[in-house]
Amino acid sequence: MSREELLDKLNVYLNDRQLALQAKNGDANGFPVQESLDSSLKKNTAFMKRCRASLTSDNYDLFIKEIKSLSLEKFVPEITLSIAEGLSKCRSVKDIQAAVKIVFFLYQRFSISFIRPLLANLYSMLYPSPSDSISGNLVKSASTGVISESVTNKGTSLNVAKTRALLRIFIEFWLHGLVRTPEDFKDLLPVVYASGKKYRKTMFDEKALQTPIVILLLEDVLAPPSNFSLLPIVSSLVRSYRYELFSSHESLPGDSQINQYIDSICDPRWRLQLRSQLDRYYQDLLVYIKHRQHEYEEYRDCLSEQDFLGSSLEDISNKAEDFLKSIEGDITNGVSISEALDQPFPLSIKEKQESFYKKREEVMSLQNNILNAETLVQTGAVQLWDSEEEHQFYETFPELPNLDVANKKSLEINGDQESKSEGSSEDSQKFTKPSKSVSVKIDTLLQTLPNFMSVTQVDQAALEFLYLNTKASRNRLIKALCNLPRTSSFLVPYYIRFARIVAPVASEIASALVEHARGAFRRMMHRKAKHEYDTRTLIVRYVSELTKFRLMSFPYVFDCYKMCLLDFTSFDLEVLSLLLENCGRFLFRFPKSSLQMSSFLEAVQKKKLAAALPSQEQLILDNALYFVNPPKKSSARARKRSLKEEFLRYILHVRLNETNLSATIALLRKFDWNNDYDMLYSTFMEVWNMKYECLNSFASLVTSLYKFHPDFCIYVIDDTVDSILTYIDSSSFGDSQKRLAQAKFLAELYCVRLLDVRSIIGILFYLLPPEKFKNILQFSPTAAISKENELFRLRMIALFLSTCGSSLIRSKTRKTMLTYMLAYQCYFLAQPEVPLDMQFEFEDVVPKVRPSMNVYKNFDEAWTALAERLQSGVDDHDQDDEESFNLQSEKSNESENELEAVDWEDNEENEDTSEDSESEEENSIDLDDSEIFNSDDEELDEERVHTNEIDEELNRMMNDSLSSRAHERGIAFDVPLPLRGSTGDTSFSDLNSMSMESEENVKFTLLTKKGNKQRSQVLDVPSHSVLAQSTKTRQKEELMERKRMKEMVLNYD
């Protein structure tokens, strides 16, 4: 406490004493009140109730306001009783100080008529039995045994808190001048009945009546013989009133003003008397602490001789831990008293306590080593965990720093005092900043708990907590570790690792987590709430992780397993499966629980065979049992491929695309096709290893290789078709993606004209199941066929149609494909449930293959359309095809005529070249077809191959040139026409109108360019030509569009 703060505190005491003396002498102006006081019975009664129930610092302003405004003269006795009851409920320093100020204001208003009954009531509460002392009244029923003594007994703690609050109230009353000696209230003390007579026992002699009440109370607290049950009270009062009551001239600061203030408050002879009595109390305390340390040492030696794995070890260890903590509390309180007396605390006691800490750490490490499989079995760590990461997570922990024992002890005891909220006023002022800093740090630490994502974060947070290790911090940490959201079960391993790291210095955290997990598991098994999947997953995760970190004993874990086997309902089976999957393998591999877990698994197998479980539940349990104890089998060895095979797989499966197709063909032709045939065949058959978007390039590659190795390509295609058809008839669908890739490959082969249309049509009709399509007019929707088979068939059909359906519909089998499309719609619409992606695919495939075909929404409509088509035997869509073909030809003719109007010479060249290229392309296609399917020659000479490649490349260049020049023609119309120097008497518009009236020719302006000069000349185009008609139509449309826009603008509101 600084000098200014001490001066302000002492100055407040002196000023209040003067005001109290004025009020005692009858000065009514000490506390100003309102001129008109409220005498309402309701408000006065409410004031008394508030005094009895809520005499706290939060209501301080309201009390002051009511004391100034209410007329309380008629209710002074009732107010006195209410105030006394309210003061007995105050515990914290802040509430006590506020209550003393409220009593002081009431004393200023009502003087001794109020304060004397109040003091008598408070003194009676402090001394219920006048013949006993304060310590005798407090611990009359306390046990005298050392080991069986309950240091944290709730009843004793409440009595200590109440006694401390009453003593602090009397001291504050005396410092503020509300009471001086027992003579102020002795006449109002309650009477004692004895032998049927009423008399008042003399509780104070003549000397005591002249002694300040505070001196009498403190002498009673410090009086020998003492069992030091009031040691926390003495320590708290000494820290709070060190300067006012227990100081001497040697211990006071060298400041005359402070010495004068303190001497005015408390006479030096009384302070010297209290100091000497406190010194005797301190010497007796040192002897008492040494005696308790000796008893603990004997008890610890007896404990070390017992088996650490015994059933009673947990209870005995808890008692020893509580005993050691009680000694630590006595040492901390002794340190506070030694500081008030300006005496050093004996180092021998501290050193002995440090040895207790070291011995306790050795015992705990010995227990951990006994329970650790790595120390029991040298190879246990390798066999216990599946990977090195798990071993590091569950077995390796950071080394704890060697903190100063006195620092840890002082921080912990200060936290205990803070958690009880019973510190003194000086304590609150002296230690306010440290407690706030610890509170802020622990808040920051708790906020980082939900953000744990790595072991490093957990270890760092645990080491930070070691420097914040107080009782209040541990309680808040336990609450945070237990109250985890049910959807955040992934954080449980990090939380339990955190508790395992701090277990050597805060073992109650792990104990609290174990009790929380056991209680939650029992409640879950009792409720059996099936819908709370996240909750039971979280609880099972708590139990499992506590088991893996060996914080929960094995009997507790197997008790949880046993609860799952009692009823063996579906809920119990699911919980049992979760337990087996999370910690079953650990218990099965751990040496100390392996035999018990093996017998438990046998019991589960017998229970499963005896119970008639549904297939789904049986599958869940079998998977869990397989996970715990999988059958031993040799690990799969990776196949070693030769360098040539790796290169072949690289160029086909990784690098192949349209850009390097020619280079890949050249590389493949360099292989030895006689010796490397098997390698090439297996690589070509693995179509699914290629990129899906590169299957068209692979089909082109096979088509090119057909000219050189036709037998090889035929075998690849035949085996691919056989693989797809065999897979469709099988009942296993584990390789569906591979078969879909093969189907895509076959469809691309048809697109490059290597497969005949009859082959694709045959596969498509084979995909219609014979169980449902006995023939095309007999469909059985209820035929027995698996849902997986039907969905796979539908996906395969959609893949073929989306890849090559548009080509099939324009081939010779167009009528057959139209019928098949209707049958496909019937088959798809007959399915009861179809995935959403397949529904979208169906809606996209049908318009893509046949834009003019209706996409039916139900089975009846599609089946009716299919029956009508088969019965009529006429293609209803032939006319639509012819109309669409004619429309496309007309559009092409219009575009050609427009190009003619722009550039006659270029158009003639383009037309000739395009016709030549089209004829050549048709001839080449016909030639390829005849070569592939009708030619008897199987080998082509190399010269003819090169000639065909040159022709194909020339045709491709010509087509690219035509397409690029065709796109460039439209830009010429946007070029502005040059201004004409002289136009004569008639303008271009007049000439155009004249030609339109004559209806013979239409004037068009042709823009030509020679060198850097542009020329425009007027051409007469016949009015019945396509270019003239299209120009007229476009002009009319533009005129109508302008009129429509004008009307819309004018009619816009």
| pLDDT tens track for 222-256 | 887 667 888 889 999 999 898 888 887 776 666 77
**What's the DSSP call for residue 70?**
B
The arithmetic mean of pLDDT across residues 572-595, rounded, is 90
Domain boundary among 737, 755, 773: 755
Handedness of CA 805, 810, 812, 816 (dihedral sign): positive
Backbone angles phi, psi at 228, to 5 degrees: 60, 30
Backbone angles phi, psi at 232, to 5 degrees: -60, -35
Same domain, 959 and 1016: no
The Cα-based distances of 603 to 521, 593, 1039 in angstroms read 21, 15, 92
Same domain, 110 and 196: yes
Same domain, 124 and 162: yes
Q: How far apart are CA 13 and CA 245, in angstroms?
A: 13
Same domain, 1015 and 958: no
**What's the DSSP call for residue 636?**
P
The DSSP string of 138-149 is: HSTT----SSS-
CATH classification of the domain holding 705:
1.25.40.180
State the residue for tokens 């042709």.
1006
**pLDDT exceeds cutoff 60 at 41:** yes
Give per-residue burial for 743-761: e unless 16+ CB within 10 Å, then b.
bbbbbbbbbbebbebeebb
**What's the DSSP call for residue 129?**
S
Q: How far apart are CA 872 and CA 488, in angstroms?
A: 66
Q: How far apart are CA 176 and CA 20, in angstroms?
A: 8
Same domain, 904 and 1032: no
The Cα-based distances of 894 to 484, 882, 905, 1031 in angstroms read 75, 18, 17, 11
Pairing label, strands 773-775, 1013-1022: unpaired
Q: How far apart are CA 262 and CA 268, in angstroms?
A: 9
Q: Is residue 855 part of a domain?
A: yes
899 or 841, which is more confident? Answer: 841
Q: Is residue 696 part of a domain?
A: yes
What is the per-residue pLDDT for 965? 55
Give the three-class secondary structure for 999: coil
Retrieve residue 138's tokens.
Answer: 């407090």
Q: What is the CA radius of gyration of the chain?
A: 51
Q: How far apart are CA 822 and CA 853, in angstroms?
A: 9
Nearest to 574 by CA among 612, 609, 611, 623: 623
Count H helices and E strands in the chain, helices first.
Answer: 48, 6
Contact 117, 79 (CB under 8 A): no
The Cα-based distances of 461 to 464, 546, 568, 744 in angstroms read 5, 19, 42, 56
**pLDDT exceeds cutoff 60 at 409:** no
Q: How far apart are CA 662 and CA 593, in angstroms?
A: 66
Same domain, 1017 and 969: no
Retrieve residue 488's tokens.
Answer: 């955040």
Q: What is the pLDDT of residues 51-110, one digit of tens each?
A: 998 888 889 999 999 998 998 888 888 999 999 999 988 988 899 999 999 999 999 888
Backbone angles phi, psi at 38, to 5 degrees: -85, 120
Same domain, 999 and 963: no
Query: Within 10 Å of residue 583's Cβ, how many Cβ atoms?
Result: 26
What is the per-residue pLDDT for 124? 86
Average pLDDT of the residues of the chain: 77
Cross-strand partners of 594: none
Q: Is residue 255 part of a domain?
A: no
State the residue for tokens 């070029």.
975
The Cα-based distances of 48 to 348, 830, 976 in angstroms read 55, 83, 102
Q: How confident is the model at residue 883 (pLDDT cuts 50, 70, 90)?
A: very low
Same domain, 99 and 206: yes
The arithmetic mean of pLDDT across residues 592-603, rounded, is 88
Domain boundary among 755, 772, 788: 755
Q: Is residue 744 part of a domain?
A: yes
Non-local CB neighbours of 837 within 8 Å, separated by 6+ positions: none
Same domain, 82 and 192: yes
Same domain, 861 and 904: no
Q: Is residue 609 part of a domain?
A: no
First to last CA, the chain: 81
Backbone angles phi, psi at 977, to 5 degrees: -75, 145
Query: Within 10 Å of residue 12's Cβ, how many Cβ atoms?
Result: 12
Which residue range(s) make up the domain with 27?
A: 3-139+150-216
Handedness of CA 769, 771, 777, 782 (dihedral sign): negative
Residue 781, preceding peptide bond in cis (omega within 30° of 0): no
Nearest to 300 by CA among 347, 362, 372: 362
Which one of 245-259, 748-762, 996-1010 scores highest in mean pLDDT? Answer: 748-762
Contact 405, 466 (CB under 8 A): no
What is the per-residue pLDDT for 85? 92
Q: How far apart are CA 957 and CA 554, in angstroms?
A: 81
What is the per-residue pLDDT for 757? 87
The DSSP string of 1028-1045 is: HHHHHHHHHHHHHHHHHH
Q: How far is CA 198 from the centre of its chain?
A: 73
Q: How far apart are CA 887 and CA 892, in angstroms?
A: 9
235 or 981, which is more confident? Answer: 235
Domain boundary among 172, 199, 216: 216
State the residue for tokens 């533009």.
1038
Give this prediction's pTM: 0.41
Of 22-31, 934-943, 1022-1031, where does mean pLDDT reach its minimum? 934-943
Q: Is residue 463 part of a domain?
A: no
The arithmetic mean of pLDDT across residues 164-188, rounded, is 89
Q: What is the pLDDT of residues 292-348, one digit of tens each?
A: 888 877 776 665 444 333 334 455 667 777 787 888 888 888 888 888 888 888 867
Give the three-class secondary structure for 38: strand
What is the per-residue pLDDT for 152? 44
What is the per-residue pLDDT for 538? 92
Q: How far apart are CA 749 and CA 765, in angstroms?
A: 18
Number of domains in the chain: 5
**pLDDT exceeds cutoff 50 at 908:** no
What is the per-residue pLDDT for 103? 92
Non-local CB neighbours of 892 within 8 Å, separated by 6+ positions: none
Q: Is residue 184 part of a domain?
A: yes
Q: How far apart are CA 166 and CA 178, in angstroms?
A: 15
**pLDDT exceeds cutoff 70 at 520:** yes
Nearest to 232 by CA among 418, 507, 441: 418
Q: What is the percent of the chain where pLDDT is above 70? A: 73
Cross-strand partners of 1007: 1016
Q: How far apart are CA 360 and CA 354, in angstroms?
A: 10
What is the per-residue pLDDT for 703? 92
Q: Is residue 440 part of a domain?
A: no
Same domain, 906 and 958: yes
**pLDDT exceeds cutoff 90 at 543:** yes
Q: How far apart are CA 1005 and CA 225, in angstroms?
A: 130
Same domain, 48 and 196: yes
697 or 632, which is more confident? Answer: 697
Q: How far apart are CA 70 and CA 98, in angstroms?
A: 20
Question: In degrees, to the nearest 5, what angle opens at C-alpha 902 toward C-alphas 896 and 903?
Answer: 90
